[in-house]
Structure 1
Amino acid sequence: MTKQDLILQVVSGGLLGMLGQTVRVCGGIKKISDLAAVNNQQVSDLFDGGRLLTSLLIGFAAGALAMVVSDTQGAATNLSNSVIAAVVSAGYAGTDFIEAWAKRFLPGGTTGPSGSEVANQAKDEVQIPPMG
């Protein structure tokens, strides 16, 4: 594998990992929106752009790592659908794992509620009217 192949593998894996993390972010923004509605706040009051950027960068790192350790033999230009799905999934799940680890073990890691805490609070406070 040449250096160019490795760089292409890292960048393509990183972008796929960011894609997986973006799927996770969409769910988080929906939860923040629900919580803001319950508390009569603007979404911008609860939204943290720095946390979003950090989360996307972690997704990039998780995807890049997954791509490098995958068995693609440097062929980042001709990936199978299963490899693409695995790297996107690594960005999704890997970011969740890394953020939970950082929150637990790094100093100052408890900077805000987790996605599940926000979801539970929103679920407890949002009343859904019956259909019909």
Structure 2
Amino acid sequence: MPLEQLILVILLGAMLGAAGQCVRVIAGFKKLHGKAERTGTSVSKLIQLSDLYISLLIGAVAGVLGALLLWEEFLNTDGLQRQTVFTLLGMGYAGSDFIEAFIKKYVPESP
């Protein structure tokens, strides 16, 4: 695979992984809305943009890893297959969940 194609595969994986993570973010906003109603505060005060950015970055990394795992899929087909797109979206969703759980378990929180 030429370097240009590799870069496109990595970028596609990052974008689709982040998009898959956005599905989790939407579910998180639903939970946040419920918490805001229970505590009597606004949703905007509960949103941590740094957490959102890190979450999207983790989804992008999961998507890149997924795209690299699907290397053969990209080499053996003409064009992008629908199944590959949904696989990368799912990898962004589930992969970020796995990575975040790993971080919470093995990386100590800063004081």
- The percentage of aligned residue pairs carrying the same residue is 36
Q: Is the 8 A contact 2:18 2:92 kept in 1?
A: yes
| Runs of 4+ displaced beyond 3 Å | 73-77
Amino acid at match of 2:8: L
Larger radius of gyration: 1
Q: Which residue of 2 aligns with 1:58?
A: 58
- The separation in 2 between residues aligned to 1:14 and 1:74, in whole angstroms, is 18
Mapping of residues 1-132 of structure 1, within 5 Å: 1-70=1-70, 71-74=72-75, 78-108=79-109
Report the aligned-residue RMSD: 1.9
In the alignment, structure 2 segments of 5+ residues that lack a partner are none
- The separation in 1 between residues aligned to 2:36 and 2:30, in whole angstroms, is 10
In the alignment, structure 1 segments of 5+ residues that lack a partner are 112-132
Q: Is the 8 A contact 1:9 1:76 kept in 2?
A: no
- The separation in 2 between residues aligned to 1:12 and 1:85, in whole angstroms, is 12
Structure that is richer in helix per residue: 2
Give the SS at the match of 2:53: helix
For residues 17-57 of structure 1, give each alpha carbon's deviation from its aligned partner in whole angstroms, at most 9, with x where no partner exists: 11100011000011001110111011122111000000000
Length, aligned pairs only: 110
